[in-house]
Amino acid sequence: MSGYVLAIDQGTTSSRAIVFDGKQRIAGMGKMELTQYFPASGWVEHIPEEIWATCVSSCKTALKQAGITAKDIAAIGIANQRETTIVWDRQTGKAIHNAIVWQDRRTAPLCNRLKKAGKEKLVSRKTGLLLDPYFSGTKVKWILDKVKGARRRAEKGELAFGTVDSYLIWRLTGGKVHATDATNACRTLLYNIKTSQWDDELLALFDVPRAVLPEVKDCADDFGMTDPAVLGEAIPIRGVAGDQQAATIGQACFEPGMLKSTYGTGCFALLNTGKDLVRSKNRLLTTIAYRLNGETTYALEGAIFMAGASVQWLRDKLGLLENSAESGMLAQAADPGQDVYLVPAFVGLGAPWWDADARAAIFGLTRNTGRAEIARAALEAVSYQTQDLLTAMRKDWKGARDTVLRVDGGMVGSDWTMQFLADILDSPVDRPTILETTALGAAWLAGWKAGVWPDMAGFSKRWQLDRRFYPGMDPARRRKKLAGWNDAVRRTLTKG
C-alpha cells in the first residue's frame, strides 16, 4: 500500500491540507483562508459550508501539487480547531446556525451564573476544565435555546452536534459516520476524562440531549470511508485529534515531561503528564493528550487566546503592517529604551487568569512610540504569556521543571520572536525542521493506523531539530520586563 497520507488541518483562520509521503515529507499542500464573522461584541462565527468548501478545495490542491490522485492515499487524518461548535440537521447535513468559534464569549453570563451556583468544582473534577465560554458545552446550549424549534428537534434525534472534526467526518462520509475522538470530546464540558464517557450529570447541567452527541473513538481508529464523490475515490479516515493534541503528537512529545507550544491564532502549551491525571492548582486545564489502543495519556494545558491573531489585528484593523512577517523586522528595529506592553485580551484572558470580561490594553505609550514599538509589544506578549503558563506548570507538576520547549506554528519562523521567547523563559527553545506539526500529527495517527507509517518509537526518531534558541538576556533586564508585564496584566484584569 502507498505510504501517502492526506492530513486535513482545519484551523481558525484557514483550512489547509497536506500530502505527506512515506518518509513523512511534505509532497503537496493546499490552503485557503477562512472568513471570520463578528456579529456582536465578543462574538466570533464561521460559516460551516465555508469550512467544508475550503477543506475540499485544499485537499484537491494538495493532491494536484503532489502529483497524485485520491487512489494513492492510504488514509486521511484530521486535525481541527477545538471547541468550535456546529449543530446540523441529520437529514440534510445543513447547519442550523453559524459555527460558534472557540474564541466566542457570548456565553460568559451563563458561565458566571453556574460559577455563582457553585458548579465549577463539579465541572472541573469531571472534565479537567473550567467554566469558561471557551468550551463547547455552553455553545451547544445557546444554539438549542436560541434557534426556534431546535431543542425539540434535538431531543427527537433530528439534530447532530459536533466540533469541527465531527462535522467534517459527517460530510466526508456522506452522513454515514457521526463520531469524534477523545481529545475533542474532552473539550466540550460534557465528557468525563476519568471514565472516558459522556457524563449524564454534565449533560443535565448544560441541558444537552444525549441524542445529539457523536460516538467517541480513539485518536487512531476507524472513522469510516469518504464518499467517492468528494475526492474521486473512497479513502479511509483513520486519525483524528484536536489541533493542539495533533501538534503534540507531531512534535513526538510522547514521554511524560515533554512540552510543546503552538503559536498560531492563539498559543497553546501542552505538557505530557503520562498516565497521571494532574489536577491543576494554578488555573491550568487537565486534558487528554491522546488516546491510543484504549489507553489515555493526559496533559496539562495552558491556553492563550490571542497570539498570531494580535499580529493579524495590527495588519487588518490598524493597518500598521503590510503583512504579518513584517512584525519581526519592525520589532528588531524598535527603540530598546521603550517598554511598551500589549495585553491582548481582545476576547478575554485565558490561562492562568481566565477573565472573560477583560479587554485588550496597551501600556507605556509615549509621544515617540510608533508602529515598531507596538509590533514588538504584540510579539513580546506571546512570550510573557508563555512564561505565565510555564510557571504554573512547574508549580503543578514536578516533571515540568527541566523540560525543553518544542515550538511550532506560523509565528515560530521569526528568529527574533523565538530568541525573545528563550530569553523570557530563561530556558532553551527547540524549533523543528517541519513546522507543520499539527498536520504531521494527524497524518501519523492515520498512517500508523493504516499500517503504512512507523510506530511511536520509529516516528519519534524522525523528529529533527532545525535550531535551538538559548537564553541570553541579562537577568536584571528579564526581571524588569516581567515586572512590567505583570503590572500591565494587573491593570487589565476585571477580577481581583
Give the mean model confidence (pLDDT) for residues 233-252. 95
CA atoms within 13 A on the CB side of 443: 30
48 pLDDT more than 80? yes
Residue 240 φ then ψ, to 5°: -145, 135
103 pLDDT more than 90? no
400 pLDDT more than 70? no
Grid coordinates belonging to 467 = 535550531
Same domain, yes or no: 199 and 288: no
Same domain, yes or no: 324 and 387: yes
Residue 189 near residue 134, CB atoms below 8 Å: no
Q: Residue 466 CB: number of other CB atoms within 10 A?
A: 12
CATH number of the domain within which 264 lies: 3.30.420.40
Give kind and range of the element (H or E) at residue 343. strand 341-343
322 pLDDT more than 90? no
Sign of the alpha-carbon torsion through 177, 181, 182, 183: negative
Phi-psi region of 213 (alpha: psi -120 to 50; beta: other; left: phi over 0): beta
Domain limit, last residue, from 201, 221, 243: 243
Domain enclosing residue 58, as ranges? 4-243
DSSP-assigned beta bridge partners for residue 290: 297
496 pLDDT more than 60? no
Same domain, yes or no: 276 and 227: no
Same domain, yes or no: 472 and 338: yes
* Chain segment 146-166, per-residue pLDDT in tens: 999 999 999 999 999 999 999
Residue type, 22: G
Same domain, yes or no: 125 and 210: yes
DSSP-assigned beta bridge partners for residue 217: 181
Same domain, yes or no: 298 and 392: yes
Domain count, the chain: 2
Give the mean model confidence (pLDDT) for residues 457-479. 93
Same domain, yes or no: 485 and 361: yes
What gap in Å lies between CA 474 and CA 453, rounded to an integer? 45
Least confident of 123-132, 196-205, 343-352: 343-352
Long-range contact pairs involving 456-463 (C-beta distance under 8 Å, separation at least 24): 456/254, 459/24, 459/252, 460/252, 460/254, 462/23, 462/24, 463/251, 463/252, 463/432
What gap in Å lies between CA 424 and CA 202, rounded to an integer? 40
Same domain, yes or no: 230 and 328: no
Q: Is residue 456 part of a domain?
A: no
Give the mean model confidence (pLDDT) for residues 439-456. 95
What gap in Å lies between CA 169 and CA 360, rounded to an integer? 36
Q: Is residue 142 part of a domain?
A: yes
DSSP-assigned beta bridge partners for residue 303: 268
* Chain segment 417-445, per-residue pLDDT in tens: 999 999 999 989 999 988 889 999 999 99
Task: Tell me what pLDDT residue 1 has.
Answer: 59
Same domain, yes or no: 420 and 487: yes
Give the mean model confidence (pLDDT) for residues 392-402. 79
